[in-house]
Amino acid sequence: MAAWLDAFLPTFALIALGAYLRARVMTDGAVWNGLETLTFWVLLPALLTFSIASTPLGSIPTGKLLGSTWITLLIATGLSLLIARVTGADRAAMTSIVQGGIRYNTFTALGIASGLFGQAGLSLGGVVAGLIVTCVQTILAVVFVVSDGGRPSPVRMAVQTITNPLLLGCLLGFAVAALGGLPPGIAPTFRSLGAASLALGLLCVGAGLSLESLREKPGLQLLVAALKLGIVPLLTLVLGRLFGLEGMPLAVVVLIMGMPTATTAYVMARVMGGDARLMAAIITLQHVAALVSVPLWAACLAR
């Protein structure tokens, strides 16, 4: 029981603390915007770089992880579009449904991976994050362009994908790992920046939640939550076994794919013309439901 509390309580407690601080103490939204920018563009990429750079790449089944995650994400995209069609969602709502169906919260994912498996889980989680980000950003670039009646531009999609700071952090980590790891002096710097990212990131996750938004299309929210927190990790588990994954790699990839959607999805919805209110509702409901779903998936995988 103590091990489970150590794995899950810090992550969800920081999210709850962030929600409290945003509501009662640090009520200025500009403060949280600044923290989110710092975490997303500097601290989290540093964590991913350090984690991957300190990992023996030969011990990670990258091809199996790629196959199980990318195929699952493509299937989940199709199911998200089916939900949008069946429920009569308009173009804006459709893009938010897709985001809710395939994106995941990196901070929560790495926090849980680290809590359950230590540094090895954190390093493996960084690799999985890089694989998922590449696929998700490409899918979303297509969805937003096509939903506007346009044609996807390969150049634009490539630029949007390659300039994602999380992907850049992962690519840098892979490159440094291939060269033998971070040099003395640089490694502790990246480690310190990375250590700050999870705590600040989880506080920002809590600050971004909005319980009032749960009134927005509750039936649609539940469908998307069932897809993201139930069907997506189940598909990942099945495909992971088919690809030959087992042990910690299988557990980590299933748990990460079963995380609630990213809070930054709200920003993308607002900037690119999605349904921001629905996006806020989907994000909030999934994070509340994850209090139950994530420990359940961990318990199933432990068996």
Helix ranges (DSSP H) in 163-231: 165-178, 186-207, 218-226
Residue 1, pLDDT > 60, answer no
What token pair was written down for 136? 């998700």
Contact 285, 225 (CB under 8 A): yes
Contact 19, 206 (CB under 8 A): yes
Rounded average pLDDT over 182-208: 85
pLDDT of 259:
94
pLDDT of 181:
82
Share of the chain above pLDDT 70, in %: 93
C-beta atoms surrounding 63 within 10 Å:
10
Residue 104, pLDDT > 80, answer yes
Cα separations in angstroms, 214 against 86, 188, 220 = 21, 42, 11
Residue 216, pLDDT > 80, answer no
Q: Report the C-alpha gap between 284 and 21 in whole angstroms.
A: 16
Rounded average pLDDT over 79-96: 93
Rounded average pLDDT over 1-18: 74
What token pair was written down for 188? 């502790």
Q: Report the C-alpha gap between 220 and 207 in whole angstroms.
A: 23
Q: Report the C-alpha gap between 3 and 17 in whole angstroms.
A: 21
Q: Taking all residues of the chain, what is their mean pLDDT, rounded to a whole number?
A: 86
Residue 84, pLDDT > 90, answer yes
Rounded average pLDDT over 90-98: 92
For the entire predicted model, the pTM comes to 0.85
What token pair was written down for 203? 């506080």
Task: Give the start-to-end residue ranges of the domains of the chain.
Answer: 2-208+215-302
| Eight-state DSSP code of residue 22 | I
- pLDDT classification of 102: cutoffs 50, 70, 90: very high
Q: Report the C-alpha gap between 99 and 282 in whole angstroms.
A: 9
Contact 48, 130 (CB under 8 A): yes
CATH of 2-208+215-302, one of 3.30.70.100, 1.20.1530.20, 1.10.10.10, 3.90.330.10: 1.20.1530.20
Which of 273, 278, 286 lies closest to 228, judged by CA? 286
- Which stretch of 95-104, 131-140, 142-151 has the lowest confidence by average pLDDT? 142-151
pLDDT of 8:
75
pLDDT tens digits along 136-158: 888 888 888 776 665 656 776 66
Q: Report the C-alpha gap between 138 and 285 in whole angstroms.
A: 25
What token pair was written down for 139? 């899918």
Rounded average pLDDT over 191-196: 87
Residue 64, pLDDT > 80, answer yes
pLDDT of 7:
67
Query: Which residue bears the tokens 């909030």?
Result: 284
C-beta atoms surrounding 192 within 10 Å:
12
pLDDT tens digits along 277-301: 898 889 989 998 998 999 999 888 8
pLDDT tens digits along 226-278: 999 999 999 999 999 999 999 999 999 999 999 999 887 887 787 777 888 89
pLDDT of 85:
94
Helix ranges (DSSP H) in the chain: 2-20, 29-38, 44-53, 62-86, 91-102, 106-147, 154-162, 165-178, 186-207, 218-226, 232-242, 247-257, 265-271, 276-302
Residue 67, pLDDT > 90, answer yes
Contact 204, 32 (CB under 8 A): yes
